[in-house]
Structure 1
Amino acid sequence: MDWKQYQRDVATFLSSLGFDTKVDENIRGARAEHDIDVTARTSIAGVKQLWIVECKLWKRPVPKERLLTFRGIVEDVGADRGILFSESGFQSGAKTAAQKTNVTLTSFLDFERNHSSDVAAARAKALDSRLASLMQAFNGLWYLPQPDREAAFKRYCGPSAFPELGRQSVAVVGVTSRLSQMRQALEDARFGRWPVAFWPLDHQDHELFDVRVWDGLFFVVEHTLEACELIFAHMIDPHAGDADWRDFQSEELTELLRKIRSNPNTS
C-alpha cells in the first residue's frame, strides 16, 4: 500500500462511521496554516466536532518529536481530537507524551477493532437524544391552551397511523410511533442485535426494512428524523399553510426507499 492509498482508506473508513471527510485539507490555525492528511467532521448532540488525522506509513516507529508536533497542530486548529495512525508502532516517548491528551495513537487495524463501535455508539446516543426531545415536544402539544392546541393539530401534515379515524390529534401517532421505533432500532444496534428494523414514515401494510450496518442505519434515521422535525415546526408555526410531509422528506431518502421497494431483496 502506498501512502496516498493509506490516507484514502482511513478517510473511507471514517466516512463509513458517518463523518464528513476530506483528504489533504489545508486548515488555518491560530498561529499557522497546516496541511492535514485527513479531516473528519461530524455533529454530536448538535455540537460540531472536528477530528484531524495524520497517516504515517513508515518503516520505523513514530518518535516523540513527531507526536509533539502533531499535538501542537491539534491545539492550533482547535480540533476536538487528533488521531495519529502508524503501521510500525510508536516509540515509548511518543506513547507517554500522548497520555491524558486528546491525541490517539493507533494502527488502522486496531482503530477499526477498538474505536469504530465507540464512535458509532456516541453518534447513536446523540440521535437518541434528538428523538427523545422531539417526542417530548409532540407530547407537549397536549398542554397548550385549547385554541392553540386545536390549531396546531389542524396544521399536522404528517402520515396518519389511523387514517380511517380522520382526527389530526390521533394522527400524530403516525410520527411519534416512528420516533419510538427509531429509538428502538438504535438501541438494538448498540447491543449488536443486527439486523434492526426500520419503518419508513410512509410504511405500507406494516412493511419494515432490515438494516444491517451502522452507516445505513444512521442515514435512514437522520433523514427521517429531519422530516419529523420539519413536520413539528410546521405544526407550531401559526403562519404555516397547507403542506404535504413528503415535501419535507429528503430526496435521497425517498429515492433509497423507491429502490428498496423495487428490489425487495435489498437491505
Structure 2
Amino acid sequence: MNQRKEWEEYQIEVSEVLAEFGFATEVEEAIEGARGRHEVDVTARIRYAGVDQLWIVECKRWKRPVPKERVLAFASIIDDVGADRGLIFAEGGFQAGAVRASRNSSITLTNLTDFISNSANELSSIKVSGLTRRIAELENRFHSIWDLDAAERTRVNSRYIGPESFGLKQPIAVMACLSMLKNSLEAASFNRWPVPYRPLDQAEDYSNGLIDVKNWDGLLFVAEKTLETCDRIYNHMTGDGNSDIHWQDLQPTELTDLLTAIRNMPSG
C-alpha cells in the first residue's frame, strides 16, 4: 500500500476542516476557467441565502514562507474560474510581500490553527458574500423597472407601497437602503465596527436616525430581514395581488419588534 505524502495529508486535513463548516469539498479537482484548466488543491462549495459559492484553496506544507509571486498567481486563478474566494493554507507562514498582495482582495492567508480559531469570522464571510450578491440582484431588479415600456412601468410604479422619499412614490428609499447595507457589509468585512444600518422607515421619519450595529450577529440579522422586505416590495410591485396594504405588513415581525425595542430604549 502506498503511503500518502506529507503534502497530500495536508490537503486532506484542510478539506476535512472545511467540510466541518458545511462545505462540500473535493481534493485535487480540475476546474475549467475562461483561459484554461486549473488543478486546484481543494475546492469548497456551499449554498447560503439562495446563492451558491465556490472557494478554491491552495495548501502549502512548506517550511519556508510563501512568496508574493505565489499569491499573485493564485489571484489570477481565482479570477479565471470565477471563484468567490481563495484561501492559501501555509504552515510556514508568508513573506511580507505576500501579505501586502493579499490585502483588500478575496484571498485569505492562513494556517489550520488560525483558520479554526477565526471560525466565527470565516462563517460570517460566507454569509456576507451571499448577502452582497442578493443586494446586487435586488438592485438590478429595481433598476430593470426603467427598462419596461411606458404603460407597464406606470402600472408597476403605481403599485409601489414602500417608504416614500421626498414625497416621491418610487423605490428611491429602498435603493438607498440597499446601497447603505452593501457599504455596511463591506465595512464590517474590514472590521470597521460599529457600522451604520438604515431602516427602511427612516425615509419616512428622519428623526429615527441611523442605528449603529456593533457585531456580526446583529448585522447579518438586520441585513437578511431587510432584504426579505425589499424582495417582497419588489414582488408586490410587479405582481397583481391586493394593493391595499402597507409596506410594513411585508416586513418580518422580528425586525419590526427589534427596531421598536431599540427606539424605546432610554437615551444615554
2:140 equivalent to 1:142: no
1:219 to 221, 229, 243: 221
Which residue number corresponds to residue 25 of structure 1?
Answer: none
Quick one: which amino acid aligns to residue 147 of structure 2? Y
- Give runs of aligned pairs for residues 1-267 of structure 1, distance below 5 A: 43-47=47-51, 113-163=117-167, 167-168=168-169, 171-203=170-202, 204-205=205-206, 207-263=209-265
Which residue number corresponds to residue 61 of structure 2?
Answer: none
Contact 1:188 1:194 in 2 (8 A): yes
- Distance of aligned partners of 1:112 and 1:159 in 2 relative to their CA distance in 1, 3 Å threshold: farther
Q: Secondary structure at the match of 2:196?
A: strand
Contact 1:159 1:202 in 2 (8 A): yes
Q: Secondary structure at the match of 1:202?
A: helix
Contact 2:115 2:122 in 1 (8 A): no
Shift of 1:239: 3.8
Quick one: which amino acid aligns to residue 191 of structure 2? G
Quick one: which amino acid aligns to residue 258 of structure 1? T
Shift of 1:161: 1.6
Percent identity, aligned pairs only? 38
Q: Secondary structure at the match of 2:173?
A: helix
Shift of 1:111: 5.9
Q: Secondary structure at the match of 2:165?
A: coil
Mind listing any 5+ residue stretches in structure 2 that lack a counterpart? Answer: 1-20, 23-45, 54-111
Which residue number corresponds to residue 39 of structure 1?
Answer: none
Shift of 1:235: 0.3
Q: Secondary structure at the match of 2:128?
A: helix
> TM-score with structure 1 length normalisation?
0.57
> TM-score with structure 2 length normalisation?
0.56
Quick one: which amino acid aligns to residue 141 of structure 1? I
- Distance of aligned partners of 1:240 and 1:183 in 2 relative to their CA distance in 1, 3 Å threshold: same
Q: Secondary structure at the match of 2:178?
A: helix
Q: Secondary structure at the match of 1:149?
A: helix
Quick one: which amino acid aligns to residue 234 of structure 1? H
Contact 2:177 2:199 in 1 (8 A): yes
Quick one: which amino acid aligns to residue 145 of structure 1? D
- Distance of aligned partners of 1:202 and 1:264 in 2 relative to their CA distance in 1, 3 Å threshold: farther
Q: Secondary structure at the match of 2:201?
A: coil
- Distance of aligned partners of 1:146 and 1:198 in 2 relative to their CA distance in 1, 3 Å threshold: same
The runs of 4+ residues in structure 1 deviating greater than 4 Å are none
Mind listing any 5+ residue stretches in structure 1 that lack a counterpart? Answer: 1-16, 20-41, 50-105
Contact 1:194 1:211 in 2 (8 A): yes
Q: Deviations over 1:119-153 (max 9, x none)?
A: 11121011010011001100000000111000000
Q: Deviations over 1:2-60 (max 9, x none)?
A: xxxxxxxxxxxxxxx9x9xxxxxxxxxxxxxxxxxxxxxx95151589xxxxxxxxxxx
Which residue number corresponds to residue 67 of structure 2?
Answer: none
Count of aligned residue pairs for this structure pair = 165
C-alpha RMSD over aligned residues: 2.6
- Distance of aligned partners of 1:265 and 1:217 in 2 relative to their CA distance in 1, 3 Å threshold: farther
Quick one: which amino acid aligns to residue 123 of structure 1? K
Contact 1:155 1:240 in 2 (8 A): no
Quick one: which amino acid aligns to residue 252 of structure 2? S
Question: What CA distance in whole angstroms lies between the structure 1 residues aligned with 2:177 and 2:266?
Answer: 21
Which residue number corresponds to residue 32 of structure 1?
Answer: none
